Structure 1
Amino acid sequence: MTTSACTDGSAPDLLGTLAADHATGALSTESGIFYLAAGHVVHVESPYSPGLGDLLTRSGAVDPAGWWEAVERAGAGHRVARHLVDSGSLTTGALELCHLGALFDAAYCALAHGGATLRFRPGVAHWLGAVRPVPVATVLRESCRRRALLHRIWPDPAVDTAPLTRAPGADPAELPPRRGRTLALVDGARTAAQIASALAHRTFHTLVELRRLAADGLVAPAPHPPTTPVRSVPGAGGAAWDEPDTALLRRLLDALEGL
């Protein structure tokens, strides 16, 4: 493809075509953007998932001033990721693990909540720059795995995107620590992405806890959710970096090394 194109096809199908064509550019769904380089996925963004910068700075892994310095100095050259490593803000391995988790989270959201209208813009690159390109097939396979797991826990995907309300009498103190911390931030206004950002947790693991809470009757979508998701939570404090899927991400990285 050499010009911007609109299509009514399936996002996974079009991603497969772009991979086969070794395409470079940005594929937009109604709930996210896939950035590709030579047919591989290099970054994904979704308003339903906290961005890499939110996760790194809220967790304390990168100082906010250091993050914004990298964006200002290296964003125009699409080298923010490289600048973070070269400046000593992050090791290469830590950046790859953090970015891979954020990429898979955003890809799940962009595919699970997308509509029929897609748009591909050839040649468009993200200011972060490439960290570790991931094959399209790997991204699609991981998204399917996550969707199946979440469906087994609780089948209503509205929990993933709508502002959530807490059941009367639901007490975070009576739950396991991670689930209790998640429930404590359910206030009738925050979405899953906002809760994940406030906790400095990856989106998928927050969704697992929220769907478990929904299955137990402790949370539900608020009656009148807004139509536009909000990415961040004002005033959220720092939190410990959450690494529940490090082993999985390391296995994925090892598999990518072997390709």
Structure 2
Amino acid sequence: MTSTHLAATVLDSLALLAADRATGALSSERGTFFLSAGGVTHVDSPLSPDLGVLLTGSGVVDALGWHEALEEAGADRRVGRQLVDSGRLAAGALELCHLGALFDAAYFALGAVGRPPRFRPGAAHWLGAVRSVAVDTVVRESRRRRDRLQLIWPEPDLDSAPLVRVPDAATGALPVRRRRILAQVDGVRTAAEIAATLACRTYPTLVELRRLAADGLVTATSRATGPAPAGLPPQAAPQQEPDTALLRRLRDALEAL
């Protein structure tokens, strides 16, 4: 399938690619979906820290070991396998971190509203195969995240705009994670930049930032970095893939981190 056969939106294009069991990379201005036989194997987005930032920033993998894995296996697109085989990372930890980064980036990448997406047949991510996730599962998870964030605080510009503390607002007793995130709000950093600074995943960071906004402590500046993730249309009676239960358990574990 070439870009001339794609739909106008990322969401519709993903559905077509999944139906065709396509392999390659679907790119928009907000991210890139990598697919293999119609399943999503990885997602990159400039609005979400990548796996390397999360692993090295948190100390799960030291920076030297990460760069060595990139040099030794990046060209062969098997960096994930190299991390496991070299003993730098357990296979279960890689899968957990990979899924977290995938779903975080997909939340933003699905919201692309600019130029039509482009598809590069056969393109693969340098990380290599870790786990493939059905397109419907990725879309449902992004919808669930959007809905939860809307319940906490209904202003989506917090997801992409530089954030500022509300002057003279009393912070009171905040949970440790929320206090650490609030300390990074400086009128310049976006949610993604705060997450990268703290080596935290984007979605839990967004949850805490929206809670801070609901408490009257944080607001978005007018200098947004781009449109907020677009609303996903309702989905009627989705069918459950065989791995849905496993993904739900992984999701719960990721949100508990």
Please report the TM-score for the alignment, with normalisation by the length of structure 2.
0.85
- Residue 140 of structure 2 corresponds to which residue in structure 1? 141
Q: Which runs of 5+ in 2 are unaligned?
A: 228-244, 252-257
1:167, distance to aligned residue in structure 2 (A) = 0.8
Distance 1:170 1:26 in 2: 45
CA contact (8 A) 1:6 1:118 kept: no
Matches within 5 A, 1:1-259: 1=1, 3-5=2-4, 7=6, 9-115=8-114, 117-170=116-169, 174-225=173-224, 251-252=249-250
Distance 1:7 1:223 in 2: 34
Distance 1:219 1:83 in 2: 41
1:249, distance to aligned residue in structure 2 (A) = 5.1
Q: Deviations over 1:44-67 (max 9, x none)?
A: 000100000000000000000111
1:137, distance to aligned residue in structure 2 (A) = 1.0
CA contact (8 A) 2:169 2:216 kept: no
Q: Letter of the 2:68 partner, please give it.
A: E
1:223, distance to aligned residue in structure 2 (A) = 3.3
Q: Deviations over 1:110-167 (max 9, x none)?
A: 1135435211111111111111111111111101100111111111111001111111
**Residue 33 of structure 2: SS of its match in structure 1?**
strand
Aligned alpha-carbon RMSD (Å): 2.1
Q: Percent identity?
A: 63
Moved more, 191-200 or 31-40: 191-200
Q: Deviations over 1:206-230 (max 9, x none)?
A: 00011111122211112334569xx
**Pair 1:157–1:61, CA change in 2 (3 A):** same
Q: Letter of the 2:249 partner, please give it.
A: R
**Pair 1:42–1:141, CA change in 2 (3 A):** same
Q: Letter of the 1:187 partner, please give it.
A: D
Q: Letter of the 1:63 partner, please give it.
A: D
**Residue 44 of structure 1: SS of its match in structure 2?**
strand
**Pair 1:147–1:226, CA change in 2 (3 A):** closer
Moved more, 47-56 or 163-172: 163-172
**Pair 1:23–1:8, CA change in 2 (3 A):** closer
Distance 1:56 1:206 in 2: 16
Q: Letter of the 2:87 partner, please give it.
A: G
**Pair 1:5–1:74, CA change in 2 (3 A):** farther
1:42, distance to aligned residue in structure 2 (A) = 0.5
**Residue 120 of structure 1: SS of its match in structure 2?**
strand
**Residue 110 of structure 2: SS of its match in structure 1?**
helix
Q: How many residues align?
A: 234
Distance 2:250 2:20 in 1: 24
Q: Letter of the 2:173 partner, please give it.
A: E
Q: Letter of the 1:182 partner, please give it.
A: I
Q: Which runs of 5+ in 1 are unaligned?
A: 229-246, 254-259
